[in-house]
Structure 1
Amino acid sequence: MLEKLGKTDLYTSKIVYGCMGGAGAFGSQEEKDSIEALQTAHEVGINFFDTAEAYGNGYSEQLLNKALGHVRKDIVILSKAATPNVGKDKIITACERSLKNLGTDYIDIYLLHWPNREVPFEESLEALELLKKQGKINHFGVSNYGELDLKDAVSKSSSIAVNEVAYNLFFRAVEYGTLPTSIENDIPVLCYSSLMQGLLAGKYKDIKDFPDNRARTRMFDSRTRLQCRHGENGCEAELAEALKNLWSIVDNSKYSMEELSVGWLKKQQGVGGVLVGTRNKSQSLALKKLIDVDLDLDVINELTKITNKLKSALGPNIDMWDFRTR
């Protein structure tokens, strides 16, 4: 089922296909598998695809064109300008490069990938409005904008379509200020890292088993997880307790951990889409369960309850990897 996306004229699937992994972000990836994964995701009912020029230096966009260029009018494409490319001239050049990669003459939604402190938002906004006027993009928005950045942006433009942020059952920082600001301004939130880089995928019983190369978020202790850059002590005790309690719910329900995690996000107020990626056809076929999952309110409330302590420990900083708030 498709739903109207905020104040746009777009009707999109609640599950958004995240194209980052197809470009090899999570390990070696065969192009054939990536293309089949994209095509199968569309076949099972997903029409919303999230990519960026930063994913494989444009390769992710090219893959999307190879896989679904023949059904361009049936899908909604979201792409993003990389942080160094948000100055007026650079963003126009970046957008035109993405259009070429995607094999299309328009992008449905074009985002600023991260806030850039060195470029005034007004300068980026001028370029986005020009691109929209030229018909090269239909809507524009932001990504990784916390409460302060988002309030600044909406004070300068009423046309911001979406805000894409890290949001999942274990990382709920957006609920403090970012999500209320988004709801107030009719800006749907798109949730990336919906499965917490695999921790919510039902593969790990203990956080100690979570690989170091993934355990880089502020949940983990930078003193023992040396790939962390945040310099904080983390909140591993709260995380371990939340994971243990979540497994208890999984073991006593008809749902998988993935279904519970994605189903919970789908029911949160202000959420316009939940990003999920796959690496092959088989994984994309399994997305049908995530499309169909519809959790009862009592399950939603229980999931919220068991992660409240972790939410409090992490606080309102929406950056999963850095101590600096946005």
Structure 2
Amino acid sequence: MLRSDLPDLMAFAGVARHRSFRRAAAELGVSPSALSHVVRDLEARMGVRLLNRTTRSVAPTEAGTALLDRVVPAFDEIARAMTEVALSEGRLAGTLRLNAPRSACRLVLAPVVARFLALHPGVRMEIVCDDALADIVGQGFDAGVRFGERVPRDMIAVPLGGPQRFAVVAAPAYLAARGVPELPQDLSRHACLRQRFPGGAVMRWEFERDGHAEAIDVDGPLILNEQEVLLQAALDGLGLALVFEGYAAPALADGRLARVLEPWCPPFPGFLLYHPSRRQPPAPLRAFLALLREGQP
């Protein structure tokens, strides 16, 4: 094996994984043209085409797939060995890029990130808080955070932050003027502050009690796309808001908000941190996953 074969094989594996020279080049910090030249040189030395290229797509050939099946496990073993040595010496370094909805960033990621960076000061983290469903592989993220039903099936996922719960809240003055709803159906007589998702749909208010579930299209004077702003509108007395319990906790504790329909808002499975299953996670992500697993019962 030539001295250049190992980095060239890693470059080829990156292009095959991303199915894109541009994305692989961004990950490796080189230009797409330079990366294309590296792969062509590797193919010339081996005497076989490894990638099929068109103007719209890149995919491994049969020979390329066979090569990937052999070299990727070897790269994964090298990554594991390097991670274990780095962790044992307390010298972990690198960058960890995460994509997560804004609610997860505030409610569950922030405390874990503080602990992680304290343990591994040589690691840099970049977190993009975005409620839209991102393609974490295509956009160059190491991992993403979503609820279970939104995690792609070909991903590996671990729990992050435990169960979550919604709360229907309003200012005491609003409830004194408009009355307290006792059942979800009572919401038709109230001003409900609604949330719009990035895809355009307005969130339905979902309730459950004793095995009975209801989903209600509420109505009201205000639609927003951010729960923290919804919470402020409720504090201002504009109506009822459905928000994550964690957002409302401080205002509920000091009496600025009151909670209604609490028996109809049971806990539900919380966020998951997920990452591609086709390759060994990079060292910073492996360390982050280890920290999450330490907190699991």
Give TM-score, length-normalised by structure 2. 0.29
Structure with the higher strand share, 1 or 2: 2
Larger radius of gyration: 2
